[in-house]
């Protein structure tokens, strides 16, 4: 946290889709700690409540009316972070499950980016999407998740081009193996966890907090000439 000035985002307004748990919650907390006014959007029935100074708002990224309702209520937006996502593992071989995963992970990101564009154009803001290691290689048990995250990477690059004239930068983080509820079964399986750790040069599971600094950098003036980047935050897993 001390890498950045504590008032780095003072006066800035951020919305974190999927910001009520896991990586999204850690990102929301990090931005708030750096002075941003943060809304954490999620499916929790806690609309309007405050958690650690962060306003929680209901947001279903797969529902047009939910997205439009929230974004139309905003007067200003400087930062959009897309962290909403699901994984259904072997069930994703069923077409209806595959479609649901894409609807949230990929189309949901496009939906929020589209809704945020006018506000971000007015502020010269930034978008950070959440890609994955599976943006770079396949996953036999998770065809929907892998396809959606490959799509997020290409969406990020495409919107970086499309939004550049509006002064909006669009980048993505690509988390490695992060200790969240989505990976709990792998963490609890000693053999699978050891296989992951043995390939990870830094030798540990990542924590959601590890993503906060990467997002803060991509949204900060230090990244003013960076757009269209997919930034791995993986302890070196991809290069091992």
Boundaries of every domain in the chain? 13-229
Kindly give, in sequence order, each residue whose CB lies less than 8 Å from that of residue 92, ignoring residues fewer than 6 positions away: 98, 101, 141, 142, 143, 144, 145
pLDDT at 52 exceeding the cut of 90: no
pLDDT at 62: 98
Is residue 145 part of the annotated active site? The answer reads yes
Kindly give, in sequence order, each residue whose CB lies less than 8 Å from that of residue 190, ignoring residues fewer than 6 positions away: none
Q: Which of 9, 71, 145, 177 is catalytic?
A: 145
Taking Cα atoms as reference points, which of 112, 105, 80 lies closest to residue 15? Answer: 80
* For residues 3-15, average pLDDT: 94
Taking Cα atoms as reference points, which of 144, 41, 34, 46 lies closest to residue 96? Answer: 144
- What pLDDT, in 10s, does the model give residues 174-211? 999 999 988 999 999 999 999 999 999 999 999 999 99
Q: How many CA atoms lie within 13 A of 19 on its CB side?
A: 33
Query: Which CATH number is associated with domain 13-229?
Result: 3.40.50.720
- CA 235-239-240 angle, to 5 degrees, is 85
Q: Are the C-beta atoms of 123 and 76 separated by less than 8 Å?
A: yes
Q: What does 81-99 look like in DSSP terms, one character per residue?
A: EE------GGGGGSHHHHH
- What pLDDT, in 10s, does the model give residues 16-26? 999 999 999 99
pLDDT at 182: 83
pLDDT level of residue 3 (50, 70, 90 thresholds): confident
pLDDT level of residue 45 (50, 70, 90 thresholds): low
Taking Cα atoms as reference points, which of 130, 118, 214 lies closest to residue 168? Answer: 118
More confident of the two residues 217 and 2? 217
Distances (CA, A) of 138 to 75, 134, 149, 218: 40, 6, 10, 26
Place of tokens 């919305």: 15
pLDDT exceeding 90 applies to what percent of the chain?
91
Mean residue pLDDT of the chain comes to 95
Distance between start and end Cα atoms, the chain: 28
pLDDT at 65: 98
Q: What is the pTM of this model?
A: 0.96
pLDDT at 47 exceeding the cut of 70: no
- What pLDDT, in 10s, does the model give residues 211-230? 999 999 999 999 999 999 99
pLDDT level of residue 2 (50, 70, 90 thresholds): low
Q: Are the C-beta atoms of 14 and 36 separated by less than 8 Å?
A: yes
pLDDT at 120 exceeding the cut of 60: yes
* For residues 81-85, average pLDDT: 98
Kindly give, in sequence order, each residue whose CB lies less than 8 Å from that of residue 189, ignoring residues fewer than 6 positions away: none
pLDDT at 49: 65
Residue 152 in tokens: 């997020």
* For residues 100-129, average pLDDT: 98
Distances (CA, A) of 80 to 53, 92, 113, 193: 18, 28, 8, 32
């Amino acid at each position: 946290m001390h890498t950045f000035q504590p008032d780095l985002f003072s006066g800035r307004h951020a919305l974190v889709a999927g910001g009520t748990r896991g990586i999204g919650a850690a990102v929301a907390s990090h931005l708030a700690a750096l002075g941003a006014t943060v809304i954490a959007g999620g499916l929790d029935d806690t609309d309007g409540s405050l958690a650690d100074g962060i306003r929680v708002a209901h947001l279903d990224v797969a529902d047009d009316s939910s997205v439009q309702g929230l974004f139309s209520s905003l007067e200003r937006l400087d930062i959009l972070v897309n962290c909403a996502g699901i994984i259904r593992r072997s069930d994703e071989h069923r077409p209806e499950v595959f479609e649901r995963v894409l609807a949230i992970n990929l189309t949901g990101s496009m939906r929020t980016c589209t809704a945020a564009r006018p506000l971000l154009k007015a502020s010269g803001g930034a978008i950070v999407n959440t890609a994955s290691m599976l943006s770079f290689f396949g996953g036999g048990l998770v065809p929907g998740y892998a396809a959606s995250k490959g799509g997020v990477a290409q969406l990020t690059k495409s919107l970086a081009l499309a939004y550049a004239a509006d002064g909006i930068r669009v980048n993505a983080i690509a988390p490695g193996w992060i200790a969240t509820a989505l990976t709990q079964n792998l963490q609890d399986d000693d053999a699978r966890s050891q296989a992951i750790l043995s390939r990870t040069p830094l030798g540990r599971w990542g924590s959601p907090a590890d993503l906060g600094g990467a997002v803060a950098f991509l949204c900060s003036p230090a990244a003013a000439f960076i757009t269209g980047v997919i930034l791995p935050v993986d302890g070196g897993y991809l290069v091992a």
